[in-house]
């Protein structure tokens, strides 16, 4: 996202520069048209150079409008990217806080709890299964716990 923001900012600067570069030729063409309009009656004609100047003004104006539209689109895209960056930073903060809580606070409590075999009732494995308290009629388990197993 940061790279896209940087590229969009560069594009915005390039568009602004292109608009500034088109303003000077526009002023020249407009001032030439104004000078032609100020001509005396006999010289005030609508000839080929006049048509070319008018076309040039319209072309430059259309180019400037297109550049301004692209500039607006780039600025909107930049605003969206900045919002996305903000949302991502917030999400990263939430996840970092969750990890902190899990690792620092919960893990401390988990370390003080007994492990699974002690919770079930035996600290050793008996033939691949944990020993568990058995009903009467059973004999003590081989693993040393006080649980009982079936007499065979």
pLDDT, one tens digit per residue, over 37-86 is 888 877 777 788 888 999 999 999 999 999 999 999 999 999 999 999 99
How much is the pLDDT for 148?
A: 53
Residues 28, 66: one domain?
A: yes
Overall number of domains in the chain: 2
CA distances, 54 to each of 59, 64, 97 (Å): 9, 15, 64
Which pLDDT tens digit goes with each residue over 83-135? 999 999 999 999 999 998 888 878 877 777 776 655 555 545 444 444 555 55
Q: What is the pLDDT of residue 126?
A: 47
User: What mean pLDDT, rounded, does the chain reach?
Assistant: 81
The larger pLDDT score, comparing residue 127 to residue 12, is at 12
Work out the angle between the directed axes of helices 48-100 and 2-37 (0-180°, nearest 10): 160
Residues 100 and 73 in one domain: yes
Shared domain for 76 and 56, answered yes or no, is yes
Same domain, yes or no: 92 and 127: no
Share of the chain above pLDDT 90, in %: 50
Let me know if residue 105 belongs to a domain.
yes
Kind of pairing between the strands at 129-130 and 148-150: unpaired
pLDDT value at 15 more than 90: yes
Shared domain for 51 and 80, answered yes or no, is yes
In terms of domains, do 56 and 127 share one?
no
Host domain of residue 101: 2-112
Whether 8 is covered by a domain: the verdict is: yes
In-domain check, residue 73: yes
């Amino acid at each position: 996202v940061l790279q896209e923001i940087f590229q969009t900012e560069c594009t915005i600067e390039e568009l602004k520069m292109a608009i500034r570069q088109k303003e000077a030729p526009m002023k020249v063409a407009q001032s030439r048209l104004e000078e032609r309009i100020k001509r005396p009656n006999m010289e005030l004609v609508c000839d080929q150079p006049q048509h070319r100047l008018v076309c040039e003004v319209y072309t430059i104006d259309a180019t400037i409008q297109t550049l301004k539209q692209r500039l607006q689109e780039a600025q909107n895209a930049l605003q969206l990217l900045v919002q996305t960056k903000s949302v991502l930073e917030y999400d990263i903060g939430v996840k970092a806080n969750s990890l902190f809580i899990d690792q620092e606070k919960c893990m401390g409590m988990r370390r003080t709890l007994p492990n699974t075999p002690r919770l079930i009732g035996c600290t050793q494995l008996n033939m691949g299964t944990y020993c568990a308290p058995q009903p009467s009629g059973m004999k003590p388990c081989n693993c040393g716990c006080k649980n009982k197993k079936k007499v065979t």
